Amino acid sequence: MDLYDISRIYPSLDKSYITGIIEICNKPISHHHLHKKKAPTSL
């Protein structure tokens, strides 16, 4: 799945949001990455 597939299925989504989803799907998910996404102001 790539940017064109997602933008065709969900035309209302913002391109940067789609790119973020693709990055998360393509990268091995690390705990640190999830922590930064969920709680950027925790520390």
Prediction pTM value = 0.35
* 27 neighbors 33 (Cβ within 8 angstroms): yes
Q: How many CB atoms lie within 10 A of CB 43?
A: 5
pLDDT at position 23 is: 82
Phi/psi region, residue 27 (left: phi>0; alpha: psi -120 to 50; beta: rest), is beta
pLDDT at residue 41 in the model: 56
Which one-letter amino acid corresponds to residue 6?
A: I
| Three-point CA angle 24, 16, 29, nearest 5° | 10
**What average pLDDT does the chain have?**
70
| pLDDT higher than threshold 80 for residue 16 | yes
pLDDT at 35 over 60: no
pLDDT for residue 15:
81
Helix (H, G, I), strand (E, B) or coil at 42: coil
Q: What is the pLDDT of residue 19?
A: 83
Question: Does the pLDDT value for residue 17 go beyond 60?
Answer: yes
